[in-house]
Chain A
Amino acid sequence: MTQAELSELVKRSEFTPVAGLSAEDCVTLYYYMQLTRTFEMRLASFYRQGKMVGGVYLGTGNEATSVGATYTLEDRDILAPTHRDIGAHFVKGESLRAMALQLLGRAEGPTGGKDNGLHQGNKEINTLGMISHLGAMISVAAGAALASKIKKSGQVAIHFIGDGTSSIGDFHEGLNFASVMELPVVYIIENNQYAYSTPNSKQYACDWIAQRAHGFDMPGIVVDGTDVVEMYRVTKWAVERARRGEGPALIESQTMRMRGHSEHDSADYVPQKVMEKWEDKDPIDILKNYLRDWGVLTDVTREQIDEQIESEVEKAFEYALDAPVPEGPEAANGVYAR
């Protein structure tokens, strides 16, 4: 749905902006989060139906973090997402159709079937394609921010990192470099408690990963990543600070991976009590309650948005499922830029 279509549905009579977010903004955030959930649940069912090639990595529980943080960016800014950030891609401007084509490995998609998952970049909307070696993109995002600094273009970069990624050497190299050079980049750790099956207790010994920011001389902030308004507020502060030339920041979003590492994984290593605790903190439910309490959106209107999203997702997948797969010999093309 377009911003204008969403605006028409907003009840704005008595709303005072929260964290700089207007009533329209709040409804737009809801749209992207619900879109993410709907899109991903469709992927999960395709996986079970055997329609997907390869693994399916979902961001259920991560919607507020991914969408709320990315919503702080301007069109020209740089986004380096990770593999549970479908929502971030959508907010930055990736189309549903392109996303569906990508995840189904179709010829027309952003990688033309050459790479899987959320590995695509898009020069037009300035997203950087991730690689599976987590941590590698930390310095790549810094390099994009360095280009902004050299060109004095005022662009800011956001890069999402997982909790597991904080253990690899590239984390240290990238954050140190970014801080030494005071680059306009904001790092957001999506701390979803598990790296595949490894719990945080085996990943790091400190209380919060954000504590490490102190050693790099940058702000380190822990935020409730299930609350999109909080996520937006804190990220906005860091992005504005970076845009003013005051350097990078490290934000740790506390959230939960509500499914397995990939759809093949039942995640039975996560204690039931832990899952139940986090089920009470579903990011979309939290925002729904806000919208109702603030009188921004009635349940009836919200359901209209949900139906519209269902139909948009349906259309995107209908198109992608019928789209051709790449021809075999295409595998030989594109190694070099010409």
Chain B
Amino acid sequence: MAEITYIQAISEGLREEMQRDESVFLLGEDIGNYGGAFKVTKGFVEEFGEERVIDTPLAESAIFGMSIGAALQDMRPVAEMQFSDFVSTGFNQLVNNAAKIHYRWGAAVPMTVRMPTGGGVHGGPFHSQNTEAWFFHVPGLKLVAPSNPYDAKGLIKAAIRDKNPVLYFEHKYLYRREKQELSGDDFLVEIGKGRVAREGEDLTVLTYGSMVPTSLEAASHLESRIDVEVIDLRSLMPLDMELIIGSIKKTNKALIVHEDIKTGGIGAELSARITEEAFEWLDGPIRRVASIDTPVPFAPSLEEYFMPNPDKIAAGIQQLWDY
């Protein structure tokens, strides 16, 4: 088995699905001959041709509209946002069109949107955002956020095969940092299922995406004193509430960690649901470690202050444990 990076896992998943199913095609800015801003689709034009790897004009709304139209003709488009921040100029097509078609008139819209996401790469306010909460509030969309190569590959394949619009949040910070040995087998990761990234008895950290390895690092710093369980949500919509509530009933303490800003983030909904479903099992308040409520700042010193890191997460765990 060969070791591959997170970004290679995304490429492999895309390539395998395109080889398996002729209705799968890609569209996005600079994804063809250039191979994409992050080179996820390098070599795809040579293998699949320009009709299935489409370099688009700079027009996010039309990229999504075209994807919807093709999906309604039984194709399986995969649209790439060059950076997830740019999704805002195509917002209407996702939230009012793609998300509502099945509910309104019963037609499936099997499309995937690749969303290179997140900070820690000094991209400034428009190349670093975590935009998942914008879409978490929209019935009809599914949201996934892998944290490692296995899930990156299994989830991109599952997203492409899903009958619904799936937003796939791939974290740029993880692209070349996360590595794993993967078998060449055809495997999927089921959308809607989280996983236990680290088993523990004392306290549960609920997290996803880039904050999974960061939380695992924090947990290992504390392991002599506190036995932390880390849940990798993987799927943000739908949430794996069975896994989440099961873990809370075991540890009785919940700390939510996300790189997105705190206010109105996915952590807020998680907190509310845990309170509704497992209040009696808690022996401390639900707490959150998240980015501060500002735009994502550019300078490394500012971004470091803005975002969670292992120390901030460890401090959050310690404070909740001491409660």
Partner of B93, one of A136, A157, A337: A136
Give, as a whole number of angstroms, the nearest-CB distance from A138 to chain B: 7
Which chain B positions have C-beta within 8 A of A149? 51
> A147's contact among B61, B74, B108, B163, by CB below 8 Å, is which?
B74
Report the number of A-B residue pairs with Cβ-Cβ less than 8 Å.
139
Interface centre among B68, B69, B100 (most CB of A within 10 A): B69
- A295 on interface, CB distance cutoff 8 Å: no
Docked complex Cα distance between A176 and B60 (Å): 13
Per-residue CB contact flags for chain A residues 136-166 toward chain B (1 = under 8 Å, else 0) read 1111111111111111000101000000000
Q: Which residues of B, 79-110, contact A by the 8 Å Cβ criterion? A: 92-93, 96-97, 100-110
Report yes or no: A173 in contact with B61, Cβ–Cβ below 8 A: yes
Residues of chain B contacted by A142 (CB below 8 angstroms): 62, 65-66, 69
User: Is the beta-carbon distance between A147 and B51 smaller than 8 angstroms?
Assistant: no
Beta-carbon contact of A177 and B103 below 8 Å: no
Q: Once the chains bind, are A169 and B69 in contact (CB under 8 Å)?
A: no
Residues of B within 8 A of A120 (CB): 104-105
Chain A positions 187-246 with a Cβ under 8 Å from a chain B Cβ? none
B52 at the interface (CB under 8 A from A): yes
Residues of A within 8 A of B51 (CB): 149-150
Known: A136-B96, A136-B97. A121 touches B103 (CB 8 A): no
Contact B164 A140 (CB under 8 A): no
Chain A residues within an 8 Å CB radius of B4:
none
Alpha-carbon distance between A200 and B97 when the two chains are bound, in angstroms: 27
| B13 close to chain A: CB less than 8 A | no
Q: Does B272 contact A (CB under 8 A)?
A: no
CB pair B140 A336 closer than 8 Å: yes
Given contacts A110-B105, A148-B73, A334-B103, contact A143 B59 (CB under 8 A): no
Shortest C-beta distance, B75 to chain A (Å), equals 5
- The A-contacting residues of B in range 161-177, CB under 8 angstroms, are 163-164
Q: Is B220's CB within 8 Å of the partner chain A?
A: no
Instruction: Tell me the smallest distance from the CB of A119 to a CB of chain B, in Å.
Output: 6
Rounded to whole angstroms, the CA-CA distance of A252 and B72 in the bound complex is: 27
Cβ-based interface call for B139 (8 A): yes
Q: Is the CB of B105 within 8 A of A111?
A: yes
Residues of A within 8 A of B107 (CB): 121, 123, 129, 337
Q: Which residues of B contact A140 (CB under 8 A)?
A: 65-66, 68-69, 72, 93, 97
A150 touches B75 (CB 8 A): yes
Cβ of A6 < 8 Å from any Cβ of B? no
Instruction: Establish whether residues A147 and B73, one from each chain, have CB atoms under 8 Å apart when the complex forms.
Output: yes
Are A180 and B57 in contact, with the CB atoms below 8 A?
A: yes
- From A78, A140, A157, A181, name the one whose CB has the most chain B CB atoms within 10 angstroms: A140
Which of B68, B139, B142 has the most CB atoms of chain A within a 10 A radius of its CB?
B68
Question: Cβ of A141: which chain B residues have Cβ within 8 Å of it?
Answer: 69
Task: Let me know if B59 and A177 touch, CB within 8 A.
Answer: yes
- Asked if B210 CB lies within 8 Å of chain A CBs, one says no
Q: Known A114-B103, A136-B96; judge A170-B61 contact (CB<8 A).
A: yes
Interface: A115 (CB within 8 A): yes
Contact between B67 and A143, CB atoms less than 8 A apart: yes
Say whether A131 contacts B68, CB under 8 Å: no
B56 in the interface (beta carbon within 8 A): yes
Alpha-carbon distance between A133 and B52 when the two chains are bound, in angstroms: 29
For the complex, give the distance between the alpha carbons of A155 and B73 in Å: 11
- Indicate if A174 sits at the interface (CB-CB under 8 A): yes
> Is A338 positioned at the interface, with any CB of B under 8 Å from its CB?
yes
| Contact B57–A147 (Cβ < 8 Å) | no
Tell me the chain A residues, 285-304 only, with Cβ under 8 Å from chain B: none
**Once the chains are docked, how many angstroms separate the CA of A115 from the CA of B97?**
13
**B25 on the interface (CB 8 Å rule)?**
yes
A313-338 at interface with B (beta carbon < 8 Å): 334-338
Is the CB–CB distance between B75 and A139 below 8 Å? no
Of A111, A131, A145, A148, the contact of B97 (CB 8 Å cutoff): A131
Contacts of A148 on B, CB cut-off 8 Å? 73
Whole-angstrom distance between the Cβ of B67 and the nearest chain A Cβ = 6
Minimal beta-carbon separation of B66 from chain A (angstroms): 4
Would you call B70 an interface residue if the criterion is a C-beta within 8 Å of the partner chain's C-beta atoms?
A: yes
Are the C-beta atoms of A131 and B65 separated by less than 8 Å?
Answer: no
A137 to B109, CA, bound (A): 14
B177 CB to nearest A CB, Å:
33
A123 contact set on B, CB distance < 8 A: 72, 107
Q: Is the CB of B69 within 8 A of A119?
A: no
Contact of A100 with B by CB under 8 A:
no
Q: In the complex the two chains form, is B100's CB within 8 Å of A131's CB?
A: yes
A169 touching B104 by the CB < 8 A rule? no
Closest approach, in angstroms, between the C-beta of B236 and any C-beta of chain A?
15
Min Cβ gap A279→B in Å is 36
Are B61 and A139 in contact (CB-based, < 8 A)? Answer: yes
User: Could you tell me if A337 and B109 are in contact, using CB atoms closer than 8 angstroms?
Assistant: yes
- Closest chain B CB from A316 CB (angstroms): 19
Contact check, B92 vs A119: say whether CB atoms are below 8 A apart.
no
- A sample of 10 more A-B contacts (CB under 8 A), given A131-B96, A336-B140, is A111-B106, A131-B97, A136-B61, A143-B66, A143-B71, A143-B72, A150-B75, A155-B73, A335-B103, A336-B164
Residues of A within 8 A of B (CB): 78, 110-111, 114-115, 119-123, 128-129, 131, 133, 136-151, 155, 157, 169-170, 173-174, 176-177, 180-181, 334-338
Selected A-B contacts with CB under 8 Å, 24 pairs = A111-B104, A114-B103, A114-B104, A129-B101, A133-B97, A136-B93, A139-B64, A140-B68, A142-B62, A143-B71, A143-B73, A145-B69, A146-B66, A146-B69, A147-B75, A150-B51, A150-B75, A151-B75, A170-B65, A173-B65, A177-B56, A336-B102, A336-B163, A338-B163
